[in-house]
Amino acid sequence: MNIGEAAARSGVPAKTIRYYEDIALIESADRTANGYRAYSQEDVHTLRFIASARSLGFTVAQCRDLLALYRDRERSSADVKAIAASHVAEIDDKIEGLRAMRATLSTLMRKCHGDDRPDCPIIEELAAGSAPEPDKK
């Protein structure tokens, strides 16, 4: 099948498939006599695997590791779990950072009157380059 069909079947855009080939996340597809890429059902399955992992926020490097483990029938599930656990820790850190951002913005919003006056603590804090610490509740 050509790249368009592989993209449709896998849900991965053709441009992304080409990118994955360029960075050697997937092997470059064989070429037909007229130079078109030819993908197999196995390639589509691999692309779906990557798409699933990416939808969970795994990085390309983590996807590379997961693919290697997927292909290794002698793998240890502990190795797979370790990658997942590391990713969960990264997600937790991001959530903590987002909560801190939200708290800071909420603090700034409480300081702003939100009326027709030009004075705005939000703008002033951003211009000063120092956001306040969020109020502790």
In this predicted model, what pLDDT tens digit does every residue of 73-121 receive, in sequence order? Answer: 999 999 999 999 999 999 999 999 999 999 999 999 999 999 998 999 8
pLDDT tens sequence across 6-64:
999 999 999 999 999 999 999 998 888 888 889 999 999 999 999 999 999 999 999 99
Which pTM value belongs to this model?
0.79
Q: Could you give the CA distance from residue 137 to residue 135 in angstroms, rounded to a whole number?
A: 6
Return the bridge partners of 51, or none: none
Phi, psi for 37 (deg, rounded to 5): -70, 140
Rounded to the nearest 10°, the torsion over CA 99, 105, 106, 107 is: 110
